[in-house]
Each structure stands twice: as C-alpha cells, then as structure tokens.
Structure 1
C-alpha cells in the first residue's frame, strides 16, 4: 500500500474519478465530503467521512486520526450564474474553506497539496489558447473565489514547506469508460450533460445562452476535456510532488475549442436524436472563448491525453445516462 491521502469532495463528479484511479494505483484514500452534490455510491475506494470543510473541529479530528502525505482538494461550489446571485456563499465555500484546509495542513505538517482550480480565473482573455502566464482577470465570483484560493495556497507555500500543484480545469465532461462513474447532479448546467439529457427526452429543449459573442457562429467556445484524462493529471501531479517537484500552476485541457452550436450538433449526431434548440440571453459572467494551452502540463508532468475526442466524450456521457435510466446494462461504454 502506498501513502495515505485526503481527498476533499471525493464523492463528487471529478473527485470520485480521481479516487478510483488512486485506488487502482494502490493509495490508501480518505474521502471528506458533505455529499451536498456528491454521492456516497460514487466512492469506489477508501473510506468516506461525511463532513463539511466549514467544520474545522471535525476536519482536525480527521487529520489527527490519519497520517496524510498529501491533500487533493476538490470540494467547491462551481456554477457561474449561481455565483453571481450568491457571491457570499461562493467565497465562504470556496475561499474560506480552502483557508480552513490549509490551516489543518499547517498544524498537522502536510506539505503536499493539489488544488482543483478553473479556467474561470482568466476571465475574458485576449489570448487563445490561454497559457498559465496570461493575466488572471476573472469576471464572476466563482472565478474570483478560486483565484483567491490560489493566492492563499501560493502565499502559504512561500512562507512554509508546502509544495503544491494548482490545476486549472477547462470544461470537464464524459464518464468513466467502465460504466462505474459519471455525472450525478440532477441540476447540472454543463452543456454536454444538458444536451445529452435533451437527447434522452429528460429535457424538452437545449437553450443557447448568447448567440452574439464575437466568435465565428456567435456562440461561446470552450475546450472540453474528458474526466478520465483530468483524473490522470491529478495522479501525475501527485507523483510529481512525491518525487520532490517544485510548486506549479498548470492548465488542464486539450487546446481544441468547440462552439456551443458545434457541440449540440455532435450530440445530435452521436445520439441520433434531433431535439429542439432555442436561443436565450447571455448568462451573467460567461466569457466568449476559453481554450487551453496545455504544453506546460505535458512538459512538467509528462501527462498524456488518452480520450481527446469530442464524440467519445459525448458517447460515454449518453451511455452513462442511459445506464442510470436502466435503458442499458452496466458495461464498457467506449473502447
């Protein structure tokens, strides 16, 4: 058995995929999650502790009971329009709770930290693709709460022995090819999930929020990364820190952008269903185009994408959702 690691938010969509890969790699895992958006059934390895990061006393108890070599921090609120409506909740859950976690690391001597950040820290960048050295100018409370968390980690790293890897996610989608894990939230706002729901007749239509962006077809452009490739990036980051690597900030994406209209058309093609699409006003805080430059993560971590295929991402999502509806047995979703 390898080292023991703490995974906050490990019952959630991305965290659960990482926990599964950690288990397969031989790590002893403790998941700390309040299960407000995650599910205990998604924790396929290790021990689940139900708790909130705002509960410092319970968090310290968990640290005291286990000798963690590293912390992987996923727990957060992440819906951009919601952050505009409830900014204080986002600063509390994302920024303050990261501070609580770092205080525990400080007291208990944990000096390896992997943080789930976001491309939202870049805001409306003039560069495409975006590199890690581009200015961080978030345009919504979600992005600002995550950037503030990054500042906390970086400042604490300067003053201590903490070494960290901050991973800035672009748009995460897809499901585990073995059919065991996938998105669970019934209120998901991610385009691919929403479009797949429409293809399965769960939703009457798909709305395009903004068709007047300064992009070729007027709709927003995003870089979509398969959740399994993203999970692998976390294990690569952990190996890197275990080998003594210096602190890093790294983009997680493929460097390929697709517009909202392009994604919708691919979901229709893969599913074989022509569902209604309607136009709606822009949502507050949505940038026009966000595409990653992922050269640094490949160079620093040796990360290699294995699922860089939009149709594959869509296929695994649809198959996962059909499986949840009982329309197909659990199986390997895509080879």
Structure 2
C-alpha cells in the first residue's frame, strides 16, 4: 500500500507513519513543519516540504507518488485560539482540506483517513460519548472538524470515495517500542506542558479551573495513547480497502482521568517537583469527556493497549528526556 501522510512530521503523524512502515507500506510525508520536524519522520519514509493550501504541491505529490490512500493529520488544533482566529482556522483546516480532497478526486485516489476530534461533540449530554451523541461544538476547532466530516459524506456520495473519520479523544504518550520520538513544538496539550515544566523549560504548570462538577474540581479527559491511535489508522485503512465502506469512529479508552490526577502522575513518574498554579476556566472546556469506542473495537478488532495514566506519562517522559539530552 502506498500512503500519502499529510502532517506526517507532527506528533501523531510521525507515529502513524511508524506503524504504516511496520506494515510494509510505502510512505510519503507532506508537511509544512509549522508544528512538526523532519527529524521526527521515521526512517524509510520520503518527505516533501509543502502546505495543503498549495494546490500545485498537492497535485505534484499525487501524480509523482501515486498513493492509494491519503491520511490527513494537518490542522491547527488550539481550542482557545480557534475561538478568536476564525479566518486562520477556516483557511488551514477547511480550505486546506478541500484542496486535498479535490486533488484526490482529480487523481482518482479512493481512500481517505481523516484526523477528526471529540471536539465535534461539544458539551456532553451523556457519558460515555458514543458516535450517536449530538454534535454541537463549543469551539471553532471542533466546528472545523464537523464541517469536514459533513463534506466527506457528500464526497462519498458523489465519487468512488471511502473515508474513515477518526474522532480522537486526548492523544498522549510516545511509542515505547522504538527510540524514535516526536516532540511537539510549542505544545498546548496537558502532558507535554507538564513534562516541559518538569524539565524546567517552563516556569510552572497551570491547572485551568478547580471548580468543575467533578470529584476533584478539575476537568476529566480520556487520554488515549498515541500508539493505539496510530494502530487504529492502519486498521481503518485496511477496513476501507477490504469493505469499501466509510466509517466514523470514536478513539478513546472509555476511562477518564482528571487534570489533577495527571499532574500527580507526572510528579510521581518524573520524581520532579512540578510547580502548580491554579488558573481560571478556559473558554470552550467541558467538565468531563470520555469515550465509548465499542464501534472501533468491533469493526476494526482494535483494542487499546495502554489505559494507565502512569504508563502514558512514563512513555512521554522517556521521549522528552532523550530529546533534551541531545
């Protein structure tokens, strides 16, 4: 299988590339390196520097490499910034994806895996969240993902085109079976910020909100190991090719950990005194979100291997230590 991985130099993308290569796929990475780095791309994949807003680059990659499948992970993802930077998020997340889809259709590429998000659900009406849960995003990042999911439905009706929309919950951890690592640039996710604080590259860790309606007052999230996410991408590609059916799937563990629990785990795992500041709630943050992923388990025979917060943080901590030692 020949796979074009857009955003394959980033944190999640590089792990997806790693698992595609393990499955003997030929892989071409297209990335503008705004968040990723070329050194994070596993050996064996080819690389093109480019942006999904550049139609000529997209067409050239597809004509020269002739992929059977496209995996799309290139997007802006900051929940807070998305609320105030509508034009930028529209240009990159929505217009960029339209360019990508149109280039695929022009080159008759039928299989597409899309990095969606649990942010499409908004504030949970019930827990755990399944794929039938109402989709009412409370931030523009989630709205861009939902708009793209709706576009995919129309493309699949109009063309010989099959997609899987993978609704990630909170991607975390690093691949433990390899010394390769992908450290995010200017991360805004909880665990990377905790670890940067443990390493001393940040002054302190801010816990946003301690007055939520949760057992310890902090937000609860479903932390899914990035290696489990990457395996799900590979399994969904095989499903698309074999079944010729499109998919929309949750990817989570079904278990939530609070921000304070994650902080305490990071202190425990790193054996560092991580300075803690209590801040106010962030706009667009629901109190609790965790998944029901039975559909992915049943259709893909997928099972998360890692659902312990200490293991997830330990895998990331080892990667961060390697990175900062070099």
User: Same fold by TM (over 0.5)?
Assistant: yes
Matched, 1:169 2:144: no
1:278 is displaced (CA, Å) by 1.2
Determine the C-alpha separation between the residues in 1 that align with 2:244 and 2:133: 23
Q: Which residue of 2 aligns with 1:124?
A: 123
Determine the C-alpha separation between the residues in 2 that align with 1:246 and 1:156: 13
Determine the C-alpha separation between the residues in 2 that align with 1:50 and 1:109: 23
For structure 1, which runs of at least 5 residues remain unmatched after alignment?
328-335
Determine the C-alpha separation between the residues in 1 that align with 2:123 and 2:180: 33
Q: Secondary structure at the match of 1:243?
A: helix
Q: Secondary structure at the match of 2:222?
A: strand
Determine the C-alpha separation between the residues in 2 that align with 1:123 and 1:222: 13
CA contact (8 A) 2:17 2:41 kept: yes
Determine the C-alpha separation between the residues in 2 that align with 1:268 and 1:6: 39
**Between 61-70 and 295-304, the greater mean CA deviation after superposition:** 61-70
Determine the C-alpha separation between the residues in 1 that align with 2:153 and 2:101: 11
Q: Which residue of 2 aligns with 1:31?
A: 29
CA contact (8 A) 2:35 2:185 kept: no
State the TM-score, normalized to the length of structure 1. 0.94
Q: Secondary structure at the match of 1:185?
A: coil
Q: Secondary structure at the match of 2:231?
A: helix
Q: Secondary structure at the match of 1:144?
A: helix
1:179 is displaced (CA, Å) by 4.6
Determine the C-alpha separation between the residues in 1 that align with 2:95 and 2:108: 20
Q: Which residue of 2 aligns with 1:40?
A: 38
Determine the C-alpha separation between the residues in 1 that align with 2:170 and 2:62: 32
Map 1:90-169 to 2 at 5 A: 90-169=89-168
Determine the C-alpha separation between the residues in 2 that align with 1:182 and 1:265: 24
Q: Secondary structure at the match of 1:307?
A: coil
State the TM-score, normalized to the length of structure 2. 0.97
CA contact (8 A) 1:17 1:181 kept: no
**Between 71-80 and 209-218, the greater mean CA deviation after superposition:** 209-218
Q: Which residue of 1 aligns with 2:4?
A: 6
Determine the C-alpha separation between the residues in 2 that align with 1:296 and 1:178: 27
CA contact (8 A) 2:28 2:45 kept: yes
**Cα deviation code 1:186-243 (max 9, x no counterpart):** 4111111111222222222110111122212211110001111100000000111121
CA contact (8 A) 1:174 1:182 kept: no
CA contact (8 A) 1:157 1:164 kept: yes
Determine the C-alpha separation between the residues in 2 that align with 1:36 and 1:7: 15
CA contact (8 A) 1:175 1:227 kept: yes
1:260 is displaced (CA, Å) by 0.6
Q: Which residue of 1 aligns with 2:18?
A: 20
Q: Which residue of 2 aligns with 1:219?
A: 218
Matched, 1:53 2:52: yes
Q: Which residue of 1 aligns with 2:82?
A: 83
The alignment's C-alpha RMSD in Å is: 1.3
Determine the C-alpha separation between the residues in 1 that align with 2:5 and 2:102: 16
1:283 is displaced (CA, Å) by 1.4
For structure 2, which runs of at least 5 residues remain unmatched after alignment?
none
Determine the C-alpha separation between the residues in 1 that align with 2:30 and 2:11: 14
User: Number of residues paired by the alignment?
Assistant: 325
Q: Which residue of 2 aligns with 1:209?
A: 208
Determine the C-alpha separation between the residues in 1 that align with 2:265 and 2:255: 15
